[in-house]
Structure 1
Amino acid sequence: MDQHLRPDKMIFVKIMRLIKRSFKVFVTIFASTILNNPPMNHFTLRPSITALIFILVLTCSFLIAQSSNNIKFGERPPINLDKVPSDAYEPGKIRIKLQQKLSGFSTGKEILAGDTGFVITGHAAIDDLNSRFGVRSIKPIFAGLYNTGSRTMQFAERHQAWGFHLWYELKLEERADVIAAVKRFEALAEIQIAEPEYKKELYTSIPTGNSERKDDGGDLSIIQSWVPNDIRLNEQWHYHNTGQQGGSPGKDISLFDAWDIEKGHTSVIVAIIDDGIQFNHPDLAGNMWQNAEGHYGYDFVNNTSNISPGSHGTHVAGTVAAVNNNGIGVAGVAGGSGSGDGVRLMSCQVFTSGSSGGFHLAPIYAADNGAAISQNSWGYTYSGVYDQVVLDAIDYFNANGGGTVMNGGITIFAAGNSNSSGAWYPGYYSGAFSVAATNNQDQKAWYSNYDIWIDISAPGGETNSVSARGVLSTVTGSSYAFYQGTSMACPHASGVAALAISLAYRNGLVLTNNELSDLLKNTTDNHYTENPGYVGQLGTGRLNALAALLEVQSMLSGVFNPQNFAANPVGTNQIDLQWTKNLSNDNVMLVWSLNGIFGTPQNGTHYTVGQTLPGGGIVLYRGSGTSYAHSGLEPATRYFYRVFSYDNLNTYSSGVSKDATTFCEIYSVLPYSQDFDASNALPVCWEIDDNQGNGQVWQFGTINNGLNGTSGNYAYLNSDAYGSGNSQNADLISPVFDFSDYTNIH
């Protein structure tokens, strides 16, 4: 039959047949067909057509390989190299990624300079630049991955599909201009990417406290929830805030109630990408992960399986999963019930006391060894810079992490401790889940970064005035200390994420990484009353472990919550509410209250508009719509809402909450007065205008040596809190007044 086809049709048929086979099989068949049978039904392929077919099939094969390996890279915005400070990157080296056609560039080993003084590769354009910049060695930067354990070798083909074999590090002569080298190498046709290696740092906390036990922890005996017997639990206000050290009761992650639902599952692995964990710490040893060779992880700085412990990583690990209910020390968020049955801690060491490295390797190792969560409390020393190879590794973890307990991994990053906004990578990256820090009054911690890219906030503590206002966790020397930082906030989120995965997996549900991310963001507590100068810049709110687990329970029931719930005031007497129905297209029930207290609808019960739920909340709407206008409201009043999905059997989801405040009316009646005694928050209808744009804004309360001759709270700008040399320029703006009926105002 083929003899009746036109030659171009025959070529098309052969391409379509061959692209369904693997690349290796194609190469064999293609070579046999072209080299051994040139006539091929009485026509000969021109060299150009032969090359075209080969390129097309190579392209199709590459795309098929990409698809089967779930390859998806995020955004890579350009970096203006001319504006990058010289101390933002490592001297004497650059990294390059070769084009696919040069995949056989080396044998996978380091190439050293010979008698010429520079590396000769046999590629003239590359060698010319090697000579110009004195390239002393060229090393494949992912080769060390295969020293980390037997399991990693199983995924070598997947690593190649992701292009990791194309990355190399070039060591330059000591005085070489790194930025000039990057520009020249990237201009070569043989090279996809060239970049400096940007410097990174732990978001180092300041350990101003010590390991002595404090007594200002409140009485845990009156708590009705499950409470472990860890002797310093009462000092962990970030789990259960009873007002310790002047904190605000209830401004915590609601962990005690969450523990009644889930305490952690041993199949869930959290990779602590940090400095090393003290794996034999009495409060950590029972929850440490081990691989088939008996190692607790890998030291990527020194290329060894021997972890060298550091206090920062040990502190982070303790917050995630210190062993619970063992009668000593502290509790971990997902530390189990007392028999070493918490989630597992994998130590991926990328910092030592004097060096760092392996940031591109640790996420890959973690994914290949079954980690579901990548916990990161580090970042770059300058905003606006990133390593593309590190973002590639994050993308790899997100696509291939999760182990057996989740579909895909989640990468959680601290937002940074610079008390500023800006593109602070990697937390800024769309592939990262970023966490800002709050203090024990739910206010932004003084050091925490802030911006619209933040996903959520979590307790990070403040030790600058009182050490016990920090976060208490494990440190090296089998000890404990209070630290502060977004480094401390981030593992709270990782711990709650681990609880959510544990609960789902224990009950036969495998979450996706996107579902987990949405779940964490949609179940926070609104803390913007305490942070009026940062509205929209500290994520959706402060982490709530109980609400997150209740959402998982609703997913297990088969009735998912509505999505994208929003409440927006549109005047002095109306709030508009919108939502998206769940994937099952279930109807919704909307409930409101003035105090934010809502009960739980009873499954099987049909509620009607105007009916009050058991425990609180009045039904406002019930039906198939996706919006509602709540009108007839009072000006300057905060209204609370909760929306539930329900199925045809009146089985209800856990519900999602929002609140909004109606606009302020224009004041026209005098006299007018305002005190600030009701709370430490900005009064309704007042505004703060941060002209400096650095978050140094008006606060409410009292301070030492503050205002004299008065009692109660007052408004103040606390310049002492921001240090010498910083600027403050913020307006405190009253409500709007209409004085048209008055002729003499004073």
Structure 2
Amino acid sequence: MSFITRQFALIATLCLMSFGLFAQESNRVPGELLISIKVGFNGKQLEESFNLYSPDKITLQERLMPDFNIYRFSFNENSENPLRILNLIKQHAYVDVAQFNHQVQLRVTTPNDASFTQQWSLNNTGQNGGTNDADIDAVEAWDITTGGTTVTGDTIVVAVIDGGFQLNHPDLQQNFYRNYQEIAGNGIDDDNNGYVDDINGWNAFNDNGTIPSDQHGTHVSGIIGARGNNSTGVAGVNWNVKVMGIAGSTGSEATVIKAYGYAATMRKLYNQTNGAKGAYVVATNSSFGVDLANPNNYPLWCAFYDTLGKYGILSAGATANANYNIDTQGDIPTACPSNFLISVTNTTNTDAKNSSCGYGATTIDLGSPGTSVYNTVTNSGYSNLTGTSMATPHVAGAIGLMYAAACDQLINESKTIPQVAAQQMKQYLLDGTDPVSSMANITVTGGRLNVHKALINVLTYPCDPTAPPVVNFNGSNNNGCPGITVTFSNQTIGQPDSYLWFFPGGSPSTSTLPNPTVTYNLLGTYDVTLIAGNTFGFDTLTLSNYVNVNTNGTTMFWSEGFESASTFNDINWNIVSTSNVNWELFDGVAGNGTSTKAPRVNIFSNQNDAGARYGLVTPPLDFSNHSNVQMNFKHAYRRRVTTITDSLFVFVSVDGGNTFPFKLLAKGENGQGTLATSNVTTTNWVPSQSTQWCFNDNTPGCFSVDLSDFDGLSDVRVKFEVLSNGNNNMYLDDVELIGQCQEPQLVAPVAEINISKTVACIGETITISDASANTPINWQWSLTGGNPSSSNQPAFTTTFSDSGTYDITLIVTNFAGADTLTLLGAVTIYPVPETPVVTQSNDTLFSSASSGNQWYFNNNPIIGATNSFLIPSNNGNYSVIVTNAYSCASVSNSYNFIKSGLASLNGQNIFNLYPNPANSSITIETGSNGKYTFELTDALGRIVTTVEFNNRTTTFNISNLPSGIYAASIVTDGKRITKKLVVSH
């Protein structure tokens, strides 16, 4: 093909492309142009000029804005060629930019599912008497993502714990989770996750992989993840998420915990194997619970939300379907105090609170649509259901959708620090709620779920890997009595690698740990500051008055759970018995959370010991800083026969345990549940489940003993005494003292100083921090010679510009007094060497320092290169670090060396030089006669000798040269060879 032919083909192709592109502009406004006109001209001038010479006419319609020279023109769409007019306009001398006018519409991603218009919770247009936009803004959220996978390719999984699921529902079957690491029906745990044949999830009822069918679980699953845009039925909050079905929402608490355990195991395995096994579970949905339940009686259930959170799983929990205050009357799970639980109540299609659901200003996080929600049910059908059960999966689904919108940095953090990423996602979701009046003052956020706003918040995450971190943190138990211990949880994002905390009023007052624990002993409110940094910078956050130490509330100031002890002596408990039979620390109980140890009297095995008294006495208890002291404890007891009963007493001593004159509790079983926690058994009984302990039995329940008569005393001892009547065994556990706190007696601080380095070099950074006892609240540092030389912070960094020995003085104060500490000669500062200078002479580099050199090539040390000169063998960047006797160092600037090339002398690549080391003279052999120049260069790069010679062998006198290292060079015909020469006298 000739050049001309190729050119024609290209023009033809471009023309076809142009018309093809034009044909695709279906949103073009017929007969309209938008034209930006150059400065100095206007729309009327363009209209007159263009129409004067062109057969195609345009008409000025309007100037779009007074401050900008942009106009709208019209033309006859039917009589003129639109593309020809546009091209002609573009070529006009008055025109800067010209284009067609286009139709613009609201960008909304609406699925084609047949019944989507019935899903008011996702898109409320006022259908069925609803309020326009009283929804979660799902349609707007889907413009960002419709869910399914993360940016790094992880398949997002939401675990639903419920009664069962129709796995083959046509609108769900593609979105139910499947464990492809497991082989169906072979009876083998193929993926070694501890579960056999868990192809489709897990059945915690029967401990197998067979998933039952259930309407409730199918409906919940559809809200989270019914297949979207498949022309069938409905859409979920996520169109493509995987729903992990776990059967286990009813029955005993043990079943529920097993169900949660499967989700935790799968995410833990995913984290450990970098996605090779397990599942990327980001949320669980719990549309079940226990009305009016006290979280203190369900410690293991509540604690498991923290376990899930540890691996990166948030949990959405449905509150009670009853109109009461969860804050005061309780609920499980939504009153559990976990930072990884999101508690949800039910809103209607008018954004009202459903009249039959719980609320709580401190326990219920937000509202979510849950009234007449249309979605999938069993028998491959669809139906409206109402309840907090329907509200909660909207939240769980929103969490799944948020992970699909997250950038790779956030997803990576969800794998390396999953608990931090999970809490960040929770905050994004809660911060994104729509304020609605029905939720004000009865929920934490005062709002209703808005998944679009939640996704917008996710997009604010700092995804630049070269950006400084963004600091955030929180602290548990930050409001309470003197002596409270606050554990701070770092939630900084952006991969920080250093932390510096400041805790004025706390002990310690500073920390460099990511998650420090701090004790506050004095009344007051205290700021907390965290500075976090990485290679790219630092960020600082101060939360003012974050810790509030007061006497307004009660605190558990002493407890004993017996788990850490092997004997009673280990924990300073004493046995007092009228028999050879005694209390024993029994290991083997179950049902009381994770506890396996409990004090026991084995009455069953010692029935002939009837009438004996078995006493167990606590260590000395200090009530001096508390008032209205109460003692709580747990017990478990069953009778062998109904005709007799054993008894439990509580006595108090205030004379060091010599006498116990105060009897505060006396209980014996009378057949009405006054002591026994379970029914009669004729076996040597050991509690094995939670229903056999007092906290699962309202008659009698767990006992509380009022010890307020002993408030203020510093040595109180309590005796638990069992009177045997030969019946059955008695167990105790979890003894706690609770009291209203009082202001402790103030003690003046005792100054102490921490220094990161006591020996340093000039310019080196030293961190100086307070380590004083008794909680100082003010600091005054003095450091002569330091920069800075003073500070009023608990910790600071400083440098020194002169060598020497320096003192440090610290004055600390609190409301009880002050203390001063001066450390004489606390810091010794050594000089640094003069910054070396690298010079070049011919093909040799020289350091200005005569000793202590270490040469570097491209920032890597050259092994053995410690002389004051270097003969490089490669082009590149060279530098030298000089270290003195104090281990202080200076580094030169980088020197770019370009090798001129080593030529041969008369066909030889070497010359001989001897002796070496030399004293008074040296001899040079070149191999042949010729015209040569001999040069000697010292360590500073100075040429100290230049001699011309012609003979093959020549001797030179060097007796006048100082001892040292020299570069000996032979030059001939512009070519040079250099060798090292050592002169030693």
| TM category, shorter | 0.3 to 0.5
Select the structure that is richer in strand: 2
Q: Which has the larger radius of gyration?
A: 2
TM-score by length of 2: 0.31
Select the structure that is richer in helix: 1
